[in-house]
A and B are shown apart, each in its own frame.
Chain A
Amino acid sequence: MRLYEHEAKRVFAKRGLRVPESLGLLYKGCGELDVPAEVLDGGPVMVKAQVLTGGRGKAGGVAKASTPEELNAAVARILDLRIKGFPVEAVLVERAASYRGACYLGVTTDPRTAGLVLIASAAGGVDIEEVARNRPEAILKLPVAGNPAELPAADAERAGAFLAEGLGEPDLAPALADAASRLFAAFQAHDCKVLEINPLLVTDEGLLAADAKMVIDDNALYRQARLLDELGIRSKRHDVAEPTANERRAAKAGFFYVDLHPEDWKPEPGQVVVGLVPGGAGYGIFSIDEVRNVGDRFFDGRVVPFNFMDSGGGPTLARVAEMFHLLMDDPRVDLVITSRFGGISSCDTFIRGLVRALRERHADGRRVVRVHGRMVGTDLPAARAFLESAMRETPEALARLDITVGNRQIMAEVIKEGLRRHFEEVGA
Chain B
Amino acid sequence: MTTLPIADGMLAWLVRERRPDLARRIAETGRIETAVIGLGRQGTRHAGLMREFGTTVTAAVSPEAGLKVVHETIPVYPTVAAMLAEHPDIAAVSIWKHFSTAKYAALECIEAGIPIVVLISEGMPVRDVRDVLVAAREKGTLLLGPNTPGIIFPPERVKVGMLPDVFHPAEPEPERFTAEGVTICSRSGAILYHMSDALASAGIAQNAVIGVGGDSAIGTPFPDLVPMVMDFPGTDLVVVAGEIGGIAEELLAEAIRAHPERFPKPIVALISGRYAPEGKTMGHAGAIVSPGADWGTWESKRRALEAAGVTVVNNQWDLIEAVRDKLGGRTYFRAEDYYRRMAERWDAPPPVKRWTTRITKVEPDNLVVRGVPLVDLVAERRFAEVVGLIVDGRFPEDPSALDRVAVEAAKLPVPPVPLRDGDDPSKQLAAILLADEALAAFEGSRAERVAFALGRSAAAFGRIFGHELGEAGTLGELLVRAMAGERAAEAAVARVLEACVVASVDHGVTPPSAQATILSATVRPAYEVAVASGVMAITDVHGGAGARAAEFFLECRDRAEAEGIDLEVAAERIILERSIAGERVEGMGHRVHKRDPRRDVLWRLADEAGVSGACVRASHVVERAFRIARGMSLPVNVDGVIGAIVADMGLDPRVAKAAFVLGRIAGLSAHYFEEIDTQPQMRRVDFSRAVYTG
Residues of A near B314 (CB, < 8 A) are 286, 289-290, 293
CB pair B129–A114 under 8 Å, yes or no, is: yes
Q: With A111-B216, A282-B272 given, is the CB distance from A407 to B127 under 8 Å?
A: no
Residues of B near A410 (CB, < 8 A) are 194, 197-198, 201, 316
CB pair A308–B191 under 8 Å, yes or no, is: no
Residue A217 at the B interface, CB < 8 A?
yes
User: How far apart are the CA atoms of A341 and B99 in the complex, in Å?
Assistant: 26
User: How far apart are the CA atoms of A220 and B131 in the complex, in Å?
Assistant: 14
Cβ-closest chain B residue relative to A220 = B125
| Segment of A68-76, A151-159, A273-281, A420-428 in the binding face | A273-281
Residue A84 at the B interface, CB < 8 A?
yes
User: How far apart are the CA atoms of A260 and B273 in the complex, in Å?
Assistant: 11
Residue B413 at the A interface, CB < 8 A?
no
**The one of B126, B191, B275, B315 that contacts A219, using a Cβ cutoff of 8 Å:** B126
Residues of B near A341 (CB, < 8 A) are 166, 190, 193-194, 197
Residues of B near A4 (CB, < 8 A) are none
Residues of A near B162 (CB, < 8 A) are 344
CB pair A377–B164 under 8 Å, yes or no, is: yes
Residue B416 at the A interface, CB < 8 A?
no
User: How far apart are the CA atoms of A22 and B694 in the complex, in Å?
Assistant: 76
Residue A43 at the B interface, CB < 8 A?
no
Residue A140 at the B interface, CB < 8 A?
no
Residue B214 at the A interface, CB < 8 A?
yes
CB pair A289–B198 under 8 Å, yes or no, is: no
B185-203 vs A, Cβ < 8 Å mask (1 yes, 0 no): 0111111111001100100
**The one of A193, A284, A290 that contacts B282, using a Cβ cutoff of 8 Å:** A284
Residues of B near A241 (CB, < 8 A) are 279-280
**The one of B247, B284, B316, B339 that contacts A111, using a Cβ cutoff of 8 Å:** B247
Q: With A280-B189, A308-B282 given, is the CB distance from A285 to B244 under 8 Å?
A: yes
Shortest beta-carbon distance, B42 to chain A, in Å? 9
If over half of B's interface residues share one DSSP class (helix, strand or loop), that class is named, otherwise mixed; here it is loop
Which of B126, B190, B281, B349 neighbours the largest number of chain A CB atoms within 10 Å of its CB? Answer: B190
Residues of B near A114 (CB, < 8 A) are 126, 129-130, 133, 216-218
CB pair A239–B279 under 8 Å, yes or no, is: yes
Cβ-closest chain A residue relative to B217 = A114
Cβ-closest chain B residue relative to A406 = B343
**The one of A218, A240, A258, A381 that contacts B346, using a Cβ cutoff of 8 Å:** A381
User: How far apart are the CA atoms of A84 and B290 in the complex, in Å?
Assistant: 13
**The one of B123, B130, B339 that contacts A408, using a Cβ cutoff of 8 Å:** B339
CB pair B346–A380 under 8 Å, yes or no, is: yes
Q: Say which size band chain B's interface belongs to.
A: 35 or more
Q: With A111-B246, A147-B131, A289-B275 given, is the CB distance from A283 to B317 under 8 Å?
A: no
User: How far apart are the CA atoms of A260 and B289 in the complex, in Å?
Assistant: 14
Residues of B near A308 (CB, < 8 A) are 276, 280, 282-283
Shortest beta-carbon distance, B368 to chain A, in Å? 37
Residue B350 at the A interface, CB < 8 A?
yes
B313-338 vs A, Cβ < 8 Å mask (1 yes, 0 no): 01111100000000000000000000
Residues of B near A407 (CB, < 8 A) are 197, 201, 339, 342
CB pair A260–B292 under 8 Å, yes or no, is: no
Residues of A near B49 (CB, < 8 A) are 343
Residues of B near A84 (CB, < 8 A) are 291
Residue B87 at the A interface, CB < 8 A?
no
In chain A between 370 and 414, which residues have their CB closer than 8 angstroms to a CB of chain B? 376-381, 406-408, 410-412
Residues of A near B315 (CB, < 8 A) are 289-290, 293-294, 412
Cβ-closest chain B residue relative to A222 = B100
CB pair A260–B275 under 8 Å, yes or no, is: yes
Residue A168 at the B interface, CB < 8 A?
no
Residue B285 at the A interface, CB < 8 A?
yes
Residue B492 at the A interface, CB < 8 A?
no
Residues of A near B129 (CB, < 8 A) are 114
Cβ-closest chain A residue relative to B45 = A344
**The one of A111, A191, A238, A282 that contacts B191, using a Cβ cutoff of 8 Å:** A282
User: How far apart are the CA atoms of A53 and B278 in the complex, in Å?
Assistant: 12
Cβ-closest chain B residue relative to A290 = B315
Shortest beta-carbon distance, B250 to chain A, in Å? 9
Q: With A260-B276, A281-B190, A281-B283 given, is the CB distance from A112 to B126 under 8 Å?
A: no
10 CB-based A-B contacts, threshold 8 Å? A111-B295, A114-B126, A239-B281, A281-B190, A289-B274, A293-B315, A305-B275, A341-B190, A341-B193, A379-B350
Q: Tell me the B residues contacting A by CB distance below 8 Å.
A: 49, 99-100, 123-127, 129-131, 133-134, 162-166, 186-194, 197-198, 201, 214, 216-218, 241, 243-244, 246-247, 251, 270, 272-277, 279-285, 287-288, 291-292, 295, 314-318, 339, 342-343, 346-347, 349-350
Q: Tell me the A residues contacting B by CB distance below 8 Å.
A: 53-55, 84, 109, 111-112, 114-116, 129, 146-147, 188, 191, 193, 217-220, 222-223, 238-241, 256, 258, 260-261, 278-286, 288-290, 292-294, 305, 308, 310, 339, 341-344, 376-381, 406-408, 410-412
Ranked 10 nearest A-B pairs via Cβ: A343-B164, A280-B190, A282-B188, A281-B283, A114-B217, A220-B125, A282-B191, A286-B272, A380-B346, A310-B283
